[in-house]
């Protein structure tokens, strides 16, 4: 198959059988080039190349050492639900961090505005930079 045909097939198919390690890596590379985020789960030596090429390589604790070394994430249980739960938790933490930054910026805006105005209006600095940081 040409690269375009394989990309189209990879976007519509959900299962690939009897695929060599080089073919796995080629499929992952083509999916990444087409703009997709690619995760690959493998547990054998033949999966190491594909694990390395993917955006995120996932392996399990019972996998070979080569596969675990090539993976970005090693799951202690053979359950992808743990990974989905981790993604949800990460998104929740990111959203809370953004809320904190916005709240901190808006609550300190008055202080920043007052210090900037005083620095422009007065002929001396009302506070030194070190005092502002404290």
The encoded tokens of residue 53 equal 């090429």
Pick the CATH number of 3-76 from 3.40.50.1000, 3.40.50.720, 3.40.50.620, 3.50.50.60: 3.40.50.1000
Task: Please give the span between the terminal C-alpha atoms of the chain, in angstroms, as a whole number.
Answer: 64
Q: What is the pLDDT of residue 105?
A: 87
Taking residues 7-35, what's their average pLDDT? Answer: 90
Distance between CA atoms of 132 and 126, rounded to whole angstroms? 10
pLDDT digits (tens, 9 = 90+) for 115-134: 888 888 888 877 777 887 77
Percent of the chain with pLDDT over 90: 45
Helices marked H in the chain: 3-12, 21-33, 48-53, 65-70, 81-121, 129-133
User: Can you give the pLDDT at residue 88?
Assistant: 96
Tens-place pLDDT, residues 34-65: 988 899 999 899 999 999 999 999 999 999 99
Helical H segments across 38-80, by residue range? 48-53, 65-70
Give the pLDDT of residue 133: 76
What confidence score (pLDDT) does residue 70 get? Answer: 92
Q: What would the two tokens of residue 16 be? A: 């690939």
pLDDT, tens digit (0-9, with 9 covering 90-100), for 58-99: 999 999 999 999 999 999 988 888 888 989 999 999 999 999
Write down the domain spans for the chain: 3-76, 85-133
The Cβ-side half-sphere exposure at 38, using a 13 Å CA radius, reads: 25
């Amino acid at each position: 198959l040409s690269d375009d045909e394989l990309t189209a097939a990879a976007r519509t198919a959900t299962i690939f059988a009897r695929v060599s390690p080089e073919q796995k890596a080629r499929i992952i590379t083509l999916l990444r080039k087409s703009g997709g985020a690619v995760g690959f789960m493998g547990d054998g030596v033949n999966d190491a190349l594909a694990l390395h090429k993917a955006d995120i390589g996932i392996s399990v604790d019972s996998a070979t050492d080569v596969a675990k070394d090539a993976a970005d994430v090693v799951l202690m249980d053979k359950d992808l639900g743990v990974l989905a739960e981790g993604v949800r938790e990460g998104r929740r933490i990111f959203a809370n961090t953004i809320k904190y930054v916005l709240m901190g910026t808006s609550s300190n805006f008055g202080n920043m505005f007052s210090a900037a105005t005083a620095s422009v209006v007065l002929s001396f600095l009302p506070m030194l930079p070190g005092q502002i940081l404290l």
